[in-house]
Amino acid sequence: MARDGAVYVCQACGAAHSKWAGQCNACGAWNTLVEEVQSRPPGALAPTRAAKQRGLAFETLESEVPAPPRIATGVEEFDRVCGGGVVPGSAILLGGDPGVGKSTLLLQVCGWAAQRGVRCAYISGEEAVEQVRGRAGRMGLSAAPVKLAAETAVRDIVDGLKREAFDLVVIDSIQTLWSDMHDSGPGSVTQVRAAAGELVRLAKKRGIAVVLVGHVTKDGQIAGPRVVEHMVDAVLSFEGERGYPFRILRAAKNRFGATDEIGVFEMGDSGLREVKNPSALFLNDGGERAAGAAVFAGIEGSRPVLVEFQALVAPSAYGTPRRAVVGWDSGRLAMVLAVLEARCGLGFGDKDVYLNVAGGLRISEPAADLAAAAALASSALDAPLPQDCVVFGEVSLSGEVRSVSRMESRLKEAAKLGFGRALGPAGAGDVAPFIITGVSRLADAVRRVGDQVWT
């Protein structure tokens, strides 16, 4: 028998159950139900409005008060991903693996913003004040007028933030907070939901931009994902491949801007450096481009970015050949391999295939199909692509090469970095001084790679 007030809450999706079970019947996750005692039954948490007269007051879409301007923090890559600065009264969730640099990024955001006159507070629930100070010292931000505190009790944080006026508040992290309204431990769904709810309410009420840090669980979700993600206005994720200094900031949800923007940073000894021109960074510059390499002219958000696709096709020693891919979708790789086999006569059945996007960037644009296919064909046929050639185009299952958006921006960026040729969809147009090899079928592109015919 469940005790009075006890509920079993799924730590993955937040669904509440009256009995414990091995599997959550809402999201299907195993072993995620944890007993959480609620001090008040759910639903009774909101104060009753019986005293007030009930009803609904309708408003117009037109606003009488102009929206307050966005707060530019000065960290331009961060501001752009937010949609041009943070919005007063909004809540942002920043997720990422432990150690990726979330605290570093937000301390830098606070430090830079404070130096521009933005009233900032940085509240750490994970590190002691001295530790944060030490980091600020290394980043050259000791003099920035950021108000710093180490605190985990939501009630104290909310009271403290009510006493002073702030524009931007960072809470690092949401999983360390606890609210005395609930008995369950910090980091549990109930606590995370309660703490986030209170801070979001505070943000709206007082016009503060609140940034909450959230740790990501093993399977890539922010703990208590559904319960926090729907409460906040924007969900950003900070990513980086192990072993690379590059860090990418992405928006997964943004009520105030586009979600396809990325911010690029480089982690160094004195914090994060903004990378204004990512193409130069992701390209494996210098040296001959070997067989198996193809430079993709891509678009990330509003910016064109050049990245190198590297493929290796090698005889397999095992019955089941290996397919390994870094930085691209493995399903997409399987599709491109199938099209190369079925439509272009290349056989991969007894070959191991490795595909890597250089520099640690993750590419999700369909326009990268042709670049991946060209890299694979180049490796399989041991024929390099021209040194100064970029590739872009979407490949369909029938083996057609389809045109993609913003071809001119792609080519312009490539021209800036010294490229003079492009392999792309037929009808890609003329962008002087480019020599464009237009192909309408993937088989044609493969033939050109094999025969080294580019005009």
Q: Point out which residues bind Mg ion (CB under 5 A).
A: 103
Q: Are 31 and 22 in contact (CB under 8 A)?
A: yes
Minimum Å gap between C-beta 73 and ligand TYD is: 16
Residue 104 interacts with which of Mg ion, ligand TYD, none, CB < 5 to 8 Å by class:
ligand TYD
Residue closer to ligand TYD by CB (options 23, 270) is 270
Minimum Å gap between C-beta 102 and Mg ion is: 5
Distance between CA atoms of residues 365 and 330, nearest Å:
13
Minimum Å gap between C-beta 245 and Mg ion is: 18
Nearest CA to 368 out of 399, 397, 342, 332 is that of: 332
Residue 267 interacts with which of ligand TYD, Mg ion, none, CB < 5 to 8 Å by class:
ligand TYD
Residue with tokens 């025969």: 451
Residue closer to Mg ion by CB (options 116, 138) is 138
Minimum Å gap between C-beta 97 and ligand TYD is: 7
Residue 135 interacts with which of ligand TYD, Mg ion, none, CB < 5 to 8 Å by class:
ligand TYD
Point out which residues bind ligand TYD (CB under 6 A): 96, 98-104, 135, 138-139, 267, 269-271
Residue 100 interacts with which of ligand TYD, Mg ion, none, CB < 5 to 8 Å by class:
ligand TYD
Distance between CA atoms of residues 376 and 350, nearest Å:
14
DSSP 9-60: EETTT--EESS--SB-TTT--BS-EEEEEBSS-TT-SSPP-SSSPP------
Packing angle between helix 369-380 and helix 330-344, nearest 10 degrees? 60
Distance between CA atoms of residues 119 and 55, nearest Å:
38
Minimum Å gap between C-beta 126 and Mg ion is: 6
Residue 270 interacts with which of ligand TYD, Mg ion, none, CB < 5 to 8 Å by class:
ligand TYD
Residue closer to ligand TYD by CB (options 138, 230) is 138
Residue closer to Mg ion by CB (options 103, 184) is 103
C-alpha neighbours within 13 Å on the C-beta side of residue 128: 2
Residue 226 interacts with which of ligand TYD, Mg ion, none, CB < 5 to 8 Å by class:
none
Minimum Å gap between C-beta 170 and ligand TYD is: 11
Residue 69 interacts with which of ligand TYD, Mg ion, none, CB < 5 to 8 Å by class:
none
Residue closer to ligand TYD by CB (options 69, 99) is 99
Minimum Å gap between C-beta 128 and ligand TYD is: 13
Distance between CA atoms of residues 124 and 132, nearest Å:
8
Minimum Å gap between C-beta 175 and ligand TYD is: 11
Q: Are 73 and 113 in contact (CB under 8 A)?
A: yes
Query: Which residue of this chain has its Cβ atom nearest to Mg ion in the complex?
Result: 103
Residue closer to Mg ion by CB (options 175, 191) is 175
Pairing type for strands 401-402 and 394-395 reads antiparallel
Residue 139 interacts with which of Mg ion, ligand TYD, none, CB < 5 to 8 Å by class:
ligand TYD
Residue closer to ligand TYD by CB (options 52, 218) is 218
Dihedral of the CA atoms 370, 375, 377, 378 (nearest 10)? 130
At 111, which amino acid appears? Answer: G
Residue 304 interacts with which of Mg ion, ligand TYD, none, CB < 5 to 8 Å by class:
none
Distance between CA atoms of residues 61 and 203, nearest Å:
22
Give the angle 123-237-180 at the CA atoms, nearest 5°. 40
Pairing type for strands 33-37 and 6-10 reads antiparallel
Minimum Å gap between C-beta 138 and ligand TYD is: 5
Residue closer to ligand TYD by CB (options 177, 445) is 177
